[in-house]
A and B are shown apart, each in its own frame.
Chain A
Amino acid sequence: KAGVTQTPRYLIKTRGQQVTLSCSPISGHRSVSWYQQTPGQGLQFLFEYFSETQRNKGNFPGRFSGRQFSNSRSEMNVSTLELGDSALYLCASSFGAGGPGETQYFGPGTRLLVL
């Protein structure tokens, strides 16, 4: 079974631009979560989608948004990029209905550099 895939793997943008990242979950998984990983703040939860609905959201500004499609693929968008948005963005998928012990499976991440 193929794992979680993320595209693109690397991106370079300039301040003020916007960016869209894509995530394809493991086949059969309906939940997709997004995380931001930086050296200073570590791994932080952005949001989670299940059946095309955002169920949970972390403490990030409204510039960070996402969506999920009927095939469970998800995209996240960051508008008006700031230097501090430079990070590794990780996507994780799970079945979505298994409760607190459910395992999340992570993709390789998209590394975003904002200049």
Chain B
Amino acid sequence: GNSVTQMEGPVTLSEEAFLTINCTYTATGYPSLFWYVQYPGEGLQLLLKATKADDKGSNKGFEATYRKETTSFHLEKGSVQVSDSAVYFCARYGGSQGNLIFGKGTKLSVKP
């Protein structure tokens, strides 16, 4: 089917640790891919995106590369901060305007 699968959380890291959140997708073709972040009590904010294969999206130290061979879009950050504690959602374009298909979300907690 058409879906997005991301690693189960929660993920707990110490400050300055390396972060990887895995995301894979199934789709016909090569849809645009997104990472959104949701802080407590807030809506979703776009973190980064990639619109074609081999594109790398980056923002605020986060990176993700669109890998068509492995149908993946893993999120990485070299050194996390306490302020990165949030829920991270991987998403792909759903095939019709305005429609995003989201993964279940991964909760990240960063301890000082």
Contacts and interface: CB of A to CB of B under 8 A. Distances in A.
Contacts of B101: 45
Interface residues of A, number: 29
A49 B41 CA distance: 26
A48 B49 contact: no
A115 interface: no
Interface string A1-21: 000101000000000000000
Is the interface on chain B under 10, 10 to 19, 20 to 34, or 35 or more residues? 20 to 34
A55 B97 contact: yes
- Chain A: interface secondary structure? strand
A4 B51 CA distance: 24
A101 B93 contact: yes
A43 interface: yes
A28 interface: no
Interface string A65-103: 000000000000000000000000010101010011101
B7 to A, nearest CB: 14
Interface of B: 31-32, 34, 36, 41-46, 49, 51, 89, 91, 93-94, 96-105
Interface of A: 4, 6, 31-33, 35, 42-43, 45, 48-50, 55-56, 58, 90, 92, 94, 96, 99-101, 103-109
23 contacts: A32-B98, A35-B100, A43-B89, A43-B100, A45-B98, A45-B100, A48-B96, A48-B98, A48-B99, A50-B97, A55-B97, A55-B98, A56-B97, A90-B43, A94-B98, A96-B98, A99-B97, A100-B31, A101-B49, A101-B93, A103-B46, A107-B43, A108-B41
